[in-house]
């Protein structure tokens, strides 16, 4: 029996099904209570919950997962939430019931807001509620409850899993996850992808009809979940599984020299990797350098904004992990749809007061945040300059919309250099500055911006969203937010042409960089550098080695003449 879902993490797993359920809600408000005792139970549970979640955050696989866990800790710490719970206890509720009602109250408000981002936060509230109640009742850390048989397979099938439960799979035998809920951009998808667990979400099936121990196959590329496969299906997937295993083995090779980095007719193409400042997997040297180092996690620490010295040491460590190669480090990029609550009161007031922004995606975000707080920005720029001494570091600016923003940054950078000169601290006086191209404005003035910077990096996710006026988190218009749209592809070509006039390189660092079917178009348009997740480097390099520059150029011309997105997909596929 085949079930279709949303593919989240590429790969194939052949094994046996283990049905799981999320931690059950266990609370009863029917008994009379001792108010002081219930109040103490609640505060003790908060401390226990935070302690558990900090351990989970420590074990989280990368920046995105850690951000999500920390955001849930912030919710639990919220004074308004605690006051609501205490009011319920003083009104005669048991602590469990008071927590349940407080979470439901704010969850309903978020759901009714009509804002996609706020609605997703309601899931965080549910997980916080279950976590606190679990701690309150003295049960173990939140995990996945197996079926009564106690059977443990390597394919976990469940309706839903919390963030804590997913991270808890880290040392389990589970190799694939199938959920009946979730989307490609949900928290579950983000964390499963970062953990490398083959996953299919939103599968159309009733798990009560499954049995523990049944044979199953999960295809993370097509989103198919096959129960009790036929012999022919099993054999076909066995061959596909071997292909993936070969790729995984090659991906662990520490030296990428043995892997192709040119087209079959000899055109040099760089394949770089995307990283967080806390994320240095062993096989990063398979790439040709770091094309996008995100720094947001550095600013989400308990002690506030890290000092210049701490930042410089971290940036230097990352650059040293790429000896002889370039490390492109993006300055702090928050605001809009990116988590900001955990960054504390040291960020600009204009960003903290998010409720004043009717449309955050068009408000204070990216480079606007940094130019709004000169002290914060100069600290990071100075740290990057210090780390650049003797290393190949480049600075990348996010969400640029005008030449004026670039010039303002260069003035601040010059001031930082002057300060370092006075302190007699060495740095790279010719440090490269790059600009993210992810807004229509940046595309339209790309030629003018090219005069001011050393390179471009195209962020295809936001570029597609803004050009198509389609929120990538809104399922109703998600089909429009796609690299296969003609206006988006034309924008990429325009950027390449503007960059070529001034001889600066262009890198694609959005999700589309790892879509091997789109690579021929990008190369034909003039792209010679891609930055992808470390786990995708081998696949992208292999795909490039099978292409020729002439065929890519020809394909690019054909695609740009086609207006229908489905036909564009067909051409590229």
β-bridge mates for residue 561, sequence order: none
**Which residues fall within 8 angstroms of residue 435, CB to CB, at 6 or more apart?**
396, 397, 400, 406, 442, 449, 452, 453, 455, 456, 457
Who wins on pLDDT, 110 or 407? 407
The pLDDT score that the predictor gives to residue 135 is: 83
Does residue 163 sit in helix, strand or coil?
helix
With bands split at pLDDT 50, 70 and 90, how would you rate the model's confidence at 29? very low
The DSSP symbol for 534 reads G
Task: Read off the pLDDT of each residue in 526-542 and give the average, rounded to a whole number.
Answer: 88
Whether the pLDDT of residue 403 is over 90: the answer is yes
For residue 208, the 8-state DSSP code is G
- Residue pLDDT, tens place only, 297-331: 888 766 667 899 999 999 999 999 998 899 999 99
Is there a contact between 386 and 308 (Cβ–Cβ < 8 Å)?
yes
Q: Tell me what the mean pLDDT of segment 239-262 comes to.
A: 63
User: Distance between CA atoms of 99 and 104, rounded to whole angstroms?
Assistant: 9
Which segment of 69-78, 439-448, 485-494 scores lowest on mean pLDDT? Answer: 69-78
pLDDT in tens, 345-366: 555 555 555 455 666 677 778 8
Could you give the CA distance from residue 72 to residue 50 in angstroms, rounded to a whole number? Answer: 9
Q: Which range in 59-63, 169-173, 316-320 is most confidently predicted, on average pLDDT? A: 316-320
Per residue in 36-48, pLDDT (tens digit) is: 888 898 888 888 8
Interatomic CA distance for residues 236 and 239, integer angstroms = 5
Helix, strand or coil for residue 345?
A: helix
pLDDT of residue 256: 47
Confirm if 37 and 256 have CB atoms less than 8 A apart. no
**Spatial separation of the C-alpha atoms in residues 489 and 483, rounded to whole Å:** 7
Position with higher pLDDT, 255 vs 243: 243
HSE of 2 in the Cβ direction (CA atoms, 13 Å)? 8
As given in the structure block, the two tokens for residue 132 are 């606190």
Mean pLDDT for all residues in the chain: 84
* Contact (CB, 8 A) for 98 and 89: yes
Report which secondary-structure segment, H or E, holds 396: strand 393-397
What tokens were used for 272? 């770089």
HEC profile of 505-521? CEEECCHHHHCCCCHHH
Instruction: Give the tens place of pLDDT for each residue, 443-491.
Output: 999 999 999 999 999 999 899 999 998 876 676 776 788 899 999 999 9
pLDDT for 482 equals: 87
The stretch 405-429 carries a mean pLDDT of 97
Q: The tokens of 128 are what?
A: 């916080």
Beta bridge partners of 34: none
Does the predicted TM-score (pTM) go above 0.85? Answer: no
Q: What's the gap between Cα 541 and its chain centre?
A: 22
558 vs 187: which has the higher pLDDT: 558
Beta bridge partners of 507: 457, 529
pLDDT of residue 485: 94
Please tell me the chain's helix, strand, coil percentages from 3-state DSSP, rounded to the nearest 5.
50, 15, 35
Nearest residue to 456 via CA among 533, 368, 397, 515: 397
User: Coil, strand, or helix at residue 532?
Assistant: strand
Under 8 Å between Cβ of 85 and 102: yes
**Residue pLDDT, tens place only, 353-399:** 545 566 667 777 889 989 988 999 999 999 999 999 999 999 999 99
- Confidence at residue 567, expressed as pLDDT on a 0 to 100 scale: 93
- What is the pLDDT confidence band of residue 342, given thresholds at 50, 70 and 90? very low
64 pLDDT band, cuts 50/70/90, is confident
Q: How many CB atoms lie within 10 A of CB 285?
A: 20
Cα separation of 125 and 113, whole Å?
15
**Structural contact between residues 367 and 332, judged by C-beta atoms closer than 8 angstroms:** no
- Sequence-distant (6+) residues with CB within 8 A of 362 are none
Give me the phi and psi of 31, to 5 degrees please. -80, 155
Percentage of residues in the chain having pLDDT higher than 70:
84
Residue 114 has pLDDT above 70, yes or no: no
> What's the pLDDT band for 151 if we cut at 50, 70, 90?
low
């Amino acid at each position: 029996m085949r079930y279709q879902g949303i593919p989240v993490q590429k790969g194939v797993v052949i094994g046996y099904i283990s049905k799981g359920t999320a931690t059950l809600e266990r609370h009863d408000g029917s008994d009379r209570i001792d108010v002081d005792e219930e109040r103490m139970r609640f505060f003790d549970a908060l401390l226990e919950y935070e302690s558990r979640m900090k351990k989970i955050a420590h074990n989280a696989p990368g920046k995105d997962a850690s951000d999500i866990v920390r955001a849930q800790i912030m919710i639990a710490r919220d004074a308004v939430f605690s006051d609501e719970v205490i009011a319920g206890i003083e009104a005669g509720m048991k602590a469990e019931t008071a927590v349940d009602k407080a979470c439901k109250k704010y969850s309903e408000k978020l759901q009714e807001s009509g804002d996609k981002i706020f609605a997703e936060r309601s899931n965080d509230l549910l997980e916080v509620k279950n976590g606190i109640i679990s701690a309150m009742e003295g049960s173990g850390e939140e995990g996945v409850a197996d079926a009564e048989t106690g059977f443990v397979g390597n394919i976990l099938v469940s309706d839903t899993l919390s963030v804590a439960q997913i991270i808890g799979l880290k040392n389990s035998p589970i190799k694939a996850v199938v959920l009946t809920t979730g989307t490609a951009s949900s928290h579950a998808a983000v964390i499963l992808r970062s953990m490398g667990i083959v996953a299919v979400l939103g599968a159309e099936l009733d798990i009560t009809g499954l049995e523990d121990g049944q044979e199953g196959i999960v295809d993370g590329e097509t989103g198919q979940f096959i129960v009790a496969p036929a012999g022919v299906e099993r054999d076909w997937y066995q061959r596909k599984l071997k292909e993936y295993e070969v790729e995984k083995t090659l991906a662990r090779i520490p030296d990428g020299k043995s892997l192709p980095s040119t087209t079959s007719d000899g055109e040099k193409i760089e394949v770089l990797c995307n990283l967080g400042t806390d994320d240095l997997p062993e096989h990063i040297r398979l790439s040709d350098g770091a094309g996008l180092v995100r720094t947001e996690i550095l600013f989400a620490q308990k002690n506030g904004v890290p000092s210049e010295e701490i930042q410089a040491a971290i940036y230097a460590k990352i650059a040293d992990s790429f000896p002889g190669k370039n490390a492109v480090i993006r300055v702090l990029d928050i605001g809009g749809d990116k988590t900001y609550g955990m960054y504390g009161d040291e960020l600009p007031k204009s960003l903290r007061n998010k409720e004043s922004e009717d449309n955050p995606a068009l408000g204070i975000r990216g480079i606007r945040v940094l130019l709004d707080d000169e002290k914060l920005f100069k600290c990071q720029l100075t740290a990057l300059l210090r780390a650049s001494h003797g290393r190949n570091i480049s600075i990348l600016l996010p969400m640029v919309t005008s030449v004026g923003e670039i010039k303002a940054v260069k003035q601040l950078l010059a001031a930082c250099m002057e300060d370092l000169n006075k302190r007699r601290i060495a740095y790279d006086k010719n440090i490269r500055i790059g600009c993210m191209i992810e807004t229509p404005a940046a595309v339209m003035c790309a030629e003018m911006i090219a005069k001011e910077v050393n390179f471009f990096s195209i962020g295809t996710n936001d570029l597609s969203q803004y050009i198509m006026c389609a929120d990538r988190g809104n399922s109703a218009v998600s089909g429009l937010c796609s690299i296969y749209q003609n206006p988006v592809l034309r924008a990429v070509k325009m950027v390449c042409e503007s960059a070529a006039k001034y001889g600066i390189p262009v890198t694609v660092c959005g999700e589309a960089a790892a879509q091997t079917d789109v690579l021929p178009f990008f190369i034909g348009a003039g792209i010679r550098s891609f930055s992808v997740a470390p786990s995708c480097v081998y696949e992208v390099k292999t795909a490039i080695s099978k292409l020729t520059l002439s065929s890519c150029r020809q394909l690019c011309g054909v695609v740009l003449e086609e207006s229908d997105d489905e036909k564009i997909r067909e051409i590229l596929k």
